[in-house]
């Protein structure tokens, strides 16, 4: 299709497919908004329809499997009617001249519009006036006559973000004075800890549970702050001050010989978070008995010559181990 072809309309609606074939046989597929040209052939396919709006205000609708040529039968080029009238007028003037008549009698009178008026002065209908702006050098502040004010509200101060601190976790370990055990009669030491400093006071409850050891071996009713067992912990509830992470606690054990040489015995201490902390920890305390019985032998006394002397060997107490 030649690029100089006259555009006479545009595709304003399209369903399915439609093509335009130019005068030189070039075919193109139409899309919505595409221009169409004078003397092109528009074709639609199956289940297709196209609408073309012409520049003269008319339109063309094609249904499925249809074809139309965009010539003067469907589109009137701008100025065609005026050109036809002008040709007819020229023919009439030529006939009048040949007949010896005045050809100006066939023409409409010329228009003599009103002249332009003074600058800024009113003019008759159809005339032209113009405005003159003079530079005076004066200045002023524009005033609409209405008072203006700013916005009638205030912005609130931003609030700090709420930071939720995670509570520390409770833990407890047994601290033996003889490796992993404590000699009976000595205080059993435990270390209660928090995984991190608390931002507020934290409380932890202590309790004891029998294992192989029982109430004859240790005091599980009262815990102490000191190894001398002079500062009992009220209600067996520890209080961690803000920032504090460790507290030593003590349990009284009993030297209950005999029997001597008892096998190791154990009990469990539990630390449970109440406030300001979380979790529960447990540790096993071990009591050992390293005391051994004392051996003694009694005097056999005086016997007659030739008789047997009898000696008595004894222990000062029973022992759980063979002696």
Query: What is the percentage of the chain residues whose pLDDT exceeds 90?
Result: 40
Task: Tally DSSP H helices, then E strands, for the chain.
Answer: 1, 19
Dihedral of alpha carbons 211, 216, 217, 219, sign: positive
Ordered structural domains, the chain, with CATH? 7-69 (no CATH), 170-288 (2.60.40.2030)
- 112-116, 140-144, 266-270, range with the lowest pLDDT: 112-116
Q: Per-residue confidence at 221, pLDDT binned at 50, 70, 90?
A: very high
Helix, strand or coil, per DSSP, at residue 178:
strand
- 232-236, 284-288, 292-296, range with the lowest pLDDT: 292-296
DSSP-derived secondary structure letter, 172? E
| CA trace torsion 228, 231, 235, 238 (10° rounding) | -90
Supply the pLDDT for residue 125. Answer: 53
What would the pLDDT profile of 61-91 be if each residue is shown by its tens digit? 888 999 999 888 887 766 555 555 655 666 6
Whether pLDDT at 305 is above 90: no
Supply the pLDDT for residue 139. Answer: 76
182 or 291, which is more confident: 182
Whether pLDDT at 271 is above 70: yes
- 100-104, 173-177, 269-273, range with the lowest pLDDT: 100-104
Whether pLDDT at 142 is above 90: no
What DSSP string describes 9-76? EEEEEEES-EEEE-TTS-EEE--TT-EEETT-EEEE-TT-EEEEEETTS-EEEE-TT-EEE-STTT--
Please name the helix (run of DSSP H) or strand (run of DSSP E) that holds residue 169, with its range, or none: none
Note the pTM of the prediction, 2 decimals: 0.46
> Residues 263-267: what's their mean pLDDT?
92
Q: Per-residue confidence at 317, pLDDT binned at 50, 70, 90?
A: low
């Amino acid at each position: 299709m030649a690029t100089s072809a006259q555009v006479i309309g545009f595709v304003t609606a399209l369903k399915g497919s439609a093509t335009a074939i130019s005068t030189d046989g070039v075919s193109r597929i139409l899309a919505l908004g595409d221009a169409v040209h004078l003397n092109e052939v528009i074709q639609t396919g199956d289940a297709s329809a196209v609408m073309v709006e012409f520049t003269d205000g008319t339109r063309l609708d094609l249904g499925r499997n249809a074809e139309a040529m965009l010539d003067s039968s469907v589109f009137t080029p701008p100025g065609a009617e005026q050109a036809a009238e002008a040709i007819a007028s020229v023919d009439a003037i030529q006939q009048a001249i040949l007949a010896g008549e005045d050809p100006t009698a066939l023409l409409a009178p010329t228009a003599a519009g009103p002249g332009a008026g003074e600058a800024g002065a009113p003019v008759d209908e159809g005339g032209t006036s113009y405005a003159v702006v003079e530079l005076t050098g004066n200045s002023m502040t524009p005033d609409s006559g209405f008072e203006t004010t700013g916005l009638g509200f205030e912005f609130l101060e931003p609030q700090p973000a709420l930071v939720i601190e995670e509570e520390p976790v409770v833990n407890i370990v047994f601290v033996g004075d003889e490796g992993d055990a404590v000699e009976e009669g000595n205080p059993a030491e435990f270390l209660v800890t928090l995984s991190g400093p608390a931002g507020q006071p934290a409380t932890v409850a202590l309790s004891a549970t029998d294992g192989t050891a029982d109430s004859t071996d240790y005091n599980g009713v009262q815990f102490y702050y000191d190894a001398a067992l002079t500062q009992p912990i009220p209600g067996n509830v520890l209080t961690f001050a803000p920032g504090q992470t460790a507290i030593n606690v003590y349990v009284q054990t009993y030297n209950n010989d005999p029997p001597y040489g008892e096998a190791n015995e154990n009990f469990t201490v539990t630390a449970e978070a109440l406030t300001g902390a979380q979790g529960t920890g447990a540790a096993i305390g071990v009591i050992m008995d390293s005391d051994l019985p004392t051996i003694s032998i009694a005097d056999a006394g005086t016997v007659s010559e030739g008789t047997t002397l009898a000696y008595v060997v004894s222990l000062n107490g029973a022992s759980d181990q063979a002696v």
